[in-house]
């Protein structure tokens, strides 16, 4: 069945210039391998196609069971000169969490 | 062991968490990180208008509040609130101390300001185009590392004011000073940098920028406690906060903060070291206690990053709301009217529907129609007068636009853009000026 990432994981957005970073951290560390398999850089690029113009690089940060997506050309020029509402892109962690992935059984995140 | 607190994560941060740390944290050092990339360009402008200004606008308020507790409890303060004028800021701290009848030794660290000799024909890292082609250059500041702060610590200053310094270096410097870590021990430098990185955003590791009701609960965010670290000589630490303050420190908050603003987790580059965040370990060891251990590092880069602020024109904005039946339809009609009237005069025009698609720039999935929508129009202009036209046009929708438009607001502001470049370390000359409130003594070393 399809599940929103929001149900399985949490995320924090950061910015440097026109680069947006999005972490993706499963509530349960056992779900890390599922996220590694399902949440590829290509799928995230497709999901965020109207936001991220450049390349997306995915880092597997297995020491803390988390993924980091580094999205280039993502902030309408960057915090200082962007005309957007959210110039830092701080709200975009929740854009990532709207992405849906295929999961075999119902997995409910959160505490 | 030393205890280092983080009392501010940005220029406008809350004031009282730092006081709580200074009073109850049994700290050795308190760090206030108050300098965003743009802030120093704005500070440079204030200094141009008045040469005694150019330090952080909240310096006076923060120091009046903190000085008595810092001095009484022997907590040394390290902060980048010097901004564009650390010496002027130090003078102000001395004045405040005299007014409060306190004896204080203040060190101002300078050398980050490279505007006078930076080659502005050099290409910007981000665009490849000459730095000065982006707009009139307002400021150029190199990110200094621990070697700028260590001499001030050796002078036994109570308060150390810097300009642009890499954020983790503000925390790493007192660790090196206290433990006598060698500049060659890149693993220790990396561990200290990781601790600094976790602390540098103040409340962000303690439950700030984290809560999501029903999913990630955080108690008492209204009184969020800021973090401090108990650090050992081997570069391991426990990150915690003062009992009975709000917030939460756990594995989840620590993971979010470890990755915050990190471009490459394998190589986090600072002026002091290249730290590998994938070699650090995080563990919950008690309520509101996360232990950080491990961490590997590589030799620091030969160049320093320079952040260059330039004048990037003006932005004008206008907003107006529509509510009830067909709110979105009426807002969209208003948006079309604005586009028709403005697109010929403004190259970069942005039309957003707040409540629908303004923050994520589109809408993911299926959502019910919003009850109310706020139209937002924004554009860049060369002059303040031109920028003001955006808000004026939006305001004119009151009588000339769709039915039921209310709550129009208009804004303009000057834009400072930031690009960066690199500078060889040997071109930087760091100096420390010490001022004391008790004596009339000024020394430059």
CA B359 to chain A, closest CA, distance in angstroms equals 6
CA A7 to chain B, closest CA, distance in angstroms equals 9
Cβ contact, residue pair B265, A61, below 8 Å = yes
**Residues 6+ positions from B74 with CB-CB distance below 8 Å:** B28
Tell whether the model's pLDDT for residue A109 goes beyond 90.
no
Q: Lowest mean pLDDT of B33-42, B182-191, B374-383, name the range.
A: B33-42
pLDDT band, residue A78 (cuts 50/70/90): confident
The answer to whether B415 and B348 have CB atoms below 8 angstroms apart is no
Residue B426 tokens read as 């040997």
Which of A19, A85, A110 is the closest to B263 by Cβ? A19
| CA-based nearest residue to B93, from B112, B113, B72, B77 | B77
Could you count the other beta carbons within 10 Å of the beta carbon of residue B284? Answer: 14
* Percent of chain B surpassing pLDDT 90: 94
Cβ contact, residue pair B215, A109, below 8 Å = yes
Cβ contact, residue pair B277, A61, below 8 Å = yes
**B residues 36-55 closer than 8 Å to A (CB):** 37-38
**Residues 6+ positions from B371 with CB-CB distance below 8 Å:** B323, B324, B327
Q: In this structure, is residue A110 part of a structural domain?
A: no
Tell whether the model's pLDDT for residue B343 goes beyond 80.
yes
What count of CB pairs under 8 Å joins A to B? Answer: 119
Q: Lowest mean pLDDT of A66-70, B197-201, B218-222, B367-371, name the range.
A: B367-371
Helical packing angle, B384-395 and B327-342, nearest 10°: 140
Cβ contact, residue pair B282, A18, below 8 Å = no
Q: In this structure, is residue A111 part of a structural domain?
A: no
Tell whether the model's pLDDT for residue A111 goes beyond 60.
no
Cα distance between residue A62 and residue A68, in whole Å? 10
Interface of A with B (CB under 8 A): 6, 10-12, 14-19, 21, 23, 25, 27, 47, 50-51, 59, 61-64, 66, 68, 70, 78-81, 83-86, 90-92, 94-95, 98-99, 109-111
Q: Tell me, what's the pLDDT at B420? A: 95
Which of A12, A59, A94 is the closest to B265 by Cβ? A59
* CA distances in angstroms from B400 to B330, B375, B395, B403, B442, listed in the order given: 13, 15, 9, 9, 65
Q: Tell me, what's the pLDDT at B62? A: 98
Cβ contact, residue pair B259, A91, below 8 Å = no
CA B343 to centroid of chain Cα atoms = 35
3-state SS of B30-66?
Answer: EEECCCCCCHHHHHHHHHHHCCCCCCCCCHHHHHHHH
Q: Tell me, what's the pLDDT at B85? A: 97
CA A28 to chain B, closest CA, distance in angstroms equals 10
Tell whether the model's pLDDT for residue B441 goes beyond 70.
no
Which of B261, B365, B379 is the closest to A14 by Cβ? B261
**Dihedral angle, C-alpha B419, B7, B218, A99, nearest 10 °:** 10
CA B85 to chain A, closest CA, distance in angstroms equals 22
Contacts of A99 in chain B (CB under 8 A): 364
Q: In this structure, is residue A107 part of a structural domain?
A: no
Cα distance between residue A85 and residue A98, in whole Å? 19
Q: What is the CA radius of gyration of chain A?
A: 14
**Polymer length in residues for chain A:** 111
Q: In this structure, is residue A34 part of a structural domain?
A: yes
Residue B411 tokens read as 């804004």
Q: Considering only alpha carbons, which residue of chain A is nearest residue B416? A: A80
Helices and strands (DSSP H and E) totals, chain B: 11, 17
Residue found by looking up tokens 């040469």 in the block:
B51
Q: H or E element: which one contains B199?
A: helix B186-199
- What's the sign of the alpha-carbon dihedral B36, A88, B418, B343? negative
Tell whether the model's pLDDT for residue A43 goes beyond 70.
yes
Q: Considering only alpha carbons, which residue of chain B is nearest residue A67? A: B259
Average pLDDT over residues B365-391: 95
Residue A67's domain comprises 2-102
Q: Tell me, what's the pLDDT at B367? A: 86
Average pLDDT over residues B287-298: 98
Tell whether the model's pLDDT for residue A110 goes beyond 60.
no
Average pLDDT over residues B365-382: 94
Tell whether the model's pLDDT for residue B339 goes beyond 60.
yes
Q: Tell me, what's the pLDDT at B163? A: 97
Contacts of A66 in chain B (CB under 8 A): 255, 259
Total domains present in chain A? 1
Mean confidence (pLDDT) of chain B: 96
pLDDT band, residue A80 (cuts 50/70/90): confident
Q: In this structure, is residue A90 part of a structural domain?
A: yes
Contacts of B217 in chain A (CB under 8 A): 111
Contacts of A91 in chain B (CB under 8 A): 359-360
Q: Considering only alpha carbons, which residue of chain B is nearest residue A21? A: B261
Q: What is the DSSP letter of B78?
A: E
Q: Tell me, what's the pLDDT at B370? A: 93
Q: Tell me, what's the pLDDT at A108? A: 53
CA A5 to chain B, closest CA, distance in angstroms equals 13
Backbone angles phi, psi at B338, to 5 degrees: -65, -40
Q: Tell me, what's the pLDDT at B36? A: 87
| CA-based nearest residue to B290, from B226, B205, B232 | B205
Q: What is the CATH topology of the domain spanning B308-420? A: Alpha-Beta Plaits (3.30.70)
Q: What is the CATH number of the domain that holds A22?
A: 3.30.70
Average pLDDT over residues B328-339: 98
pLDDT tens digits along B118-173: 999 999 999 999 999 999 999 999 999 999 999 999 999 999 999 999 999 999 99
Tell me if chain A has a CB within 8 Å of the CB of B416.
yes
Q: Considering only alpha carbons, which residue of chain B is nearest residue A56? A: B263
3-class SS of residue B268:
strand
Residue B137 tokens read as 């250059």
Q: Tell me, what's the pLDDT at B208? A: 98
Q: Is B348 exposed, middle or buried (0-12, 13-18, 19+ CB in 10 A)?
A: middle
Q: Is A53 exposed, middle or buried (0-12, 13-18, 19+ CB in 10 A)?
A: middle
Cα distance between residue B7 and residue B17, in whole Å? 6
Cβ contact, residue pair A80, B38, below 8 Å = yes
3-class SS of residue B168:
helix
Tell whether the model's pLDDT for residue B27 goes beyond 70.
yes
Cβ contact, residue pair A23, B210, below 8 Å = no
| CA-based nearest residue to B393, from B372, B409, B380 | B409
């Amino acid at each position: 069945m399809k599940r929103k990432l929001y149900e399985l994981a949490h995320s924090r957005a950061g910015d440097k210039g026109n680069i947006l970073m999005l972490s993706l951290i499963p509530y349960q560390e056992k779900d890390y391998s599922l996220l590694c398999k399902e949440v590829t850089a290509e799928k995230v690029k497709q999901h965020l196609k109207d936001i991220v113009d450049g390349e997306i690089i995915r880092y597997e940060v297995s020491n803390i069971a988390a993924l980091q997506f580094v999205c280039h050309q993502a902030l309408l020029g960057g915090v200082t000169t962007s005309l957007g509402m959210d110039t830092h892109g701080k709200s975009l962690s929740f854009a990532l969490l709207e992405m849906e992935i295929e999961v075999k059984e119902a997995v409910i995140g959160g505490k | 062991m030393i205890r280092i607190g983080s009392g501010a994560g940005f220029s406008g941060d809350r004031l009282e968490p730092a006081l709580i740390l200074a009073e109850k944290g049994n700290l050795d050092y308190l760090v206030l990180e108050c300098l965003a990339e743009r802030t120093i360009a704005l500070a440079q402008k204030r200094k141009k208008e008045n040469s005694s200004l150019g330090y952080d606008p909240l310096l006076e308020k923060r120091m009046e509040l903190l000085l008595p507790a810092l001095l009484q409890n022997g907590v040394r303060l390290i902060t980048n609130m010097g901004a564009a004028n650390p010496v002027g800021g130090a003078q102000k701290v001395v004045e405040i101390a005299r007014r409060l009848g306190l004896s204080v030794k203040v060190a101002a660290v300078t050398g980050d300001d490279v505007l006078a000799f930076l080659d502005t024909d050099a290409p910007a890292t981000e665009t490849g185009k000459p730095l000065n082609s982006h707009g009139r250059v307002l400021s150029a500041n190199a990110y200094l590392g621990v070697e700028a702060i260590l001499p001030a610590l050796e002078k036994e200053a109570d308060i150390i004011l810097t300009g642009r310094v890499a954020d983790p270096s503000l925390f790493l410097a007192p660790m090196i000073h206290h433990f006598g870590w060698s500049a060659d021990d890149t693993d220790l430098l990396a561990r200290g940098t990781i601790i600094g990185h976790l602390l540098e955003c103040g409340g962000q590791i303690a439950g700030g920028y984290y809560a999501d009701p029903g999913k990630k609960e955080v108690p008492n965010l209204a009184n969020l406690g800021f973090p401090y670290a108990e650090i050992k000589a081997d570069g391991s630490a426990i990150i915690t906060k003062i009992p009975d303050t709000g917030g939460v420190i756990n594995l989840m908050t620590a993971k979010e903060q470890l990755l915050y603003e990190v471009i490459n987790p394998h190589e986090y580059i600072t002026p002091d070291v290249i730290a590998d965040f994938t070699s650090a370990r995080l563990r919950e060891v008690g309520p509101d206690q996360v232990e950080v251990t491990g961490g590997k590092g590589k030799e620091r880069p030969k160049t320093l990053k320079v952040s260059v602020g330039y004048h990037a024109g003006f932005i004008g904005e206008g907003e107006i709301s529509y509510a009830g039946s067909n709110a979105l339809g009426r807002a969209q009609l208003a948006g079309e009217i604005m586009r028709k009237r403005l697109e010929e005069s403004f190259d970069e025009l942005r039309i957003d529907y707040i409540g629908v698609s303004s923050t994520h720039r589109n809408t993911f999935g299926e959502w019910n129609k919003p009850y109310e929508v706020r139209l937002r129009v924004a554009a860049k202009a060369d002059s303040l007068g031109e920028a003001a036209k955006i808000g004026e046009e939006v305001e004119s929708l009151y009588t000339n636009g769709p039915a039921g438009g209310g709550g129009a607001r208009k804004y303009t502001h000057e834009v400072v853009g930031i690009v960066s470049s690199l500078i060889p370390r040997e071109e930087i000359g760091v100096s420390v000026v010490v001022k004391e409130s008790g004596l009339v003594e000024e020394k430059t070393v």
